[in-house]
């Protein structure tokens, strides 16, 4: 795996911050934010003018360290993004971009295509833009390519780069909070934006083990369901997310009681958190596992969020730690779940449900399992 996040470069840097419950949201310094109600963001500390390309290059280097990816015959690249190169459209068009990008360098697919050419991937690269669910859709697509026999190995994940354009847009939607990010809390009132990139190298399990590569985790189920409720508002009863969880679990042959932890989407908006809680309660009944949101610490990284949260899910399985939902103070009677409030929790985690939702009714769920000692691993449901 590879990660570039508000914690810096590297999976371990991200995980250390999450497992310790660090708040990485800071005052905005990259533009004058005084005219906005929300003046905070969670930015990559060593960002530069290369923008998302720099994020992806660093995540790629980590994900492909000592990897045979370039040598395998049937390889794929699947990347999700909410913004693509939106931060550079203006400078590219008016000639003020110091890196001399042009309008042809910044469409959504341009960065994926450039990475695919350099990596020499065999399959046509895929760029997914499903709002805040983008990178989980990209990971799910890579999983399905391998599951169907279309690919042997896929690099999958997502990225986004913070800029005033997107901050202004979310500000106009009244989606940003001037205070703390409080997922599932009674007093939650909005998101704070972040940025970064996350990548996972997916490979067919038998081939990996035969080549001496022990998997970090196993993906066993995925589903993406659109409920088409509203251009921005989620379905009030969590219909799309519930159906997505149901289908992903069925693919994984997992029952509600087989899950130990949920890494929730948890945006800290009034409607999304309520919808997600309803969907989880519909699926799990009275036994909803601990469900935390790392957006309370690293903000909403948009197209990178599903990937960074999948990375965190794998690390939670590895270390047996549920990262906390920080800034939690008052339980909301409409969000009936255990958000792992404020402090990390040591626990045995064999199977994680990871959820993502986005504007336009996008809803995704993926099932991630402990790979066990080898091919003979037996999951909780046999």
The Cα 40–Cα 69 span in angstroms is: 38
Rounded to a whole number, what is the largest CA-CA distance in the chain? 60
Task: From the candidates 115, 224, 265, 335, give the one annotated as an active-site residue.
Answer: 265
8 A C-beta contact, residue 361 and residue 216 = no
Catalytic-residue membership of 300: yes
Question: What is the number of other CB atoms lying within 10 angstroms of the CB of residue 201?
Answer: 23
Task: Enter the tokens of residue 58.
Answer: 């660093």
State the number of CA atoms in the 13 A half-sphere of 306 facing the CB.
37
Task: From the candidates 115, 132, 224, 335, give the one annotated as an active-site residue.
Answer: 132
Helix 305-319 vs helix 134-147: crossing angle, to nearest 10: 70
Question: What is the number of other CB atoms lying within 10 angstroms of the CB of residue 382?
Answer: 6
Task: Enter the tokens of residue 7.
Answer: 């914690």
The Cα 211–Cα 356 span in angstroms is: 33
Task: Enter the tokens of residue 151.
Answer: 């690919």
Q: Radius of gyration over alpha carbons of the chain, in Å?
A: 19
Q: Secondary structure of 328-377 in the HEC alphabet? A: CCCECCCCCCCCCECCCEECCCCEEEEEEEEHHHEEEEEEEECCCCCCCC
8 A C-beta contact, residue 198 and residue 298 = no
Task: From the candidates 38, 235, 300, 364, give the one annotated as an active-site residue.
Answer: 300
Strand partners, 42: 194
Residue 112: strand, helix, or coil: helix
Q: Which residue has the tokens 């042009």?
A: 102
Catalytic-residue membership of 265: yes
Residue 261: strand, helix, or coil: strand
Catalytic-residue membership of 132: yes
Active site residues: 132, 265, 300
């Amino acid at each position: 795996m590879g990660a570039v996040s508000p914690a810096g470069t590297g999976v371990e840097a991200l995980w250390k911050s999450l497992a310790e419950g660090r708040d990485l949201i800071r005052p905005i310094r990259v533009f004058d934010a005084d005219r906005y109600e929300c003046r905070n963001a969670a930015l990559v500390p060593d960002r530069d003018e290369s923008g998302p390309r720099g994020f992806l290059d660093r995540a790629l280097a980590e994900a492909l360290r000592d990897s045979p990816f370039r040598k395998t015959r049937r390889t794929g690249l699947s990347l999700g993004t909410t913004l693509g190169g939106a931060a550079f459209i203006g400078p590219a068009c008016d000639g003020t971009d110091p890196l001399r990008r042009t309008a042809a360098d910044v469409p959504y697919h341009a960065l994926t295509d450039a990475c695919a050419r350099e990596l020499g991937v065999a399959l046509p690269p895929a760029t997914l833009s499903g709002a805040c669910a983008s990178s989980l859709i990209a990971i799910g697509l890579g999983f399905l390519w391998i599951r169907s026999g279309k690919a042997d190995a896929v690099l999958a994940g997502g990225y986004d780069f913070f800029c005033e354009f997107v901050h202004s847009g979310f500000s106009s939607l009244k989606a940003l909070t001037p205070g703390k990010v409080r997922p599932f809390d009674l007093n939650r009132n909005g998101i704070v934006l972040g940025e970064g990139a996350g990548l996972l190298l997916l490979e067919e399990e038998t081939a990996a083990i035969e080549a001496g590569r022990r998997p970090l985790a196993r993906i066993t189920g995925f589903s993406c369901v659109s409920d088409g409720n509203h251009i921005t508002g989620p379905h009030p009863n969590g219909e799309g997310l519930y159906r997505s969880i149901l289908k992903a679990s069925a693919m994984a042959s997992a029952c509600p009681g087989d899950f130990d932890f949920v890494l929730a989407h948890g945006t800290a908006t009034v409607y999304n958190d309520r919808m997600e809680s309803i969907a989880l309660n519909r699926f799990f009944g009275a036994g909803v596992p601990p469900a935390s949101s790392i957006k309370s610490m690293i903000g909403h990284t948009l197209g990178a969020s599903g990937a960074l949260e999948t990375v965190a899910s794998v690390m939670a399985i590895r270390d047996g730690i549920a990262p906390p939902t920080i800034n939690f103070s008052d339980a909301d009677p409409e969000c009936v779940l255990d958000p792992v409030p404020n402090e990390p929790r040591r626990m045995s985690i064999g199977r994680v449900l990871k959820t993502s939702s986005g504007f336009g009714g996008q809803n995704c769920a993926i099932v991630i399992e402990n790979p066990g000692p080898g091919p003979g691993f037996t999951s909780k449901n046999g």
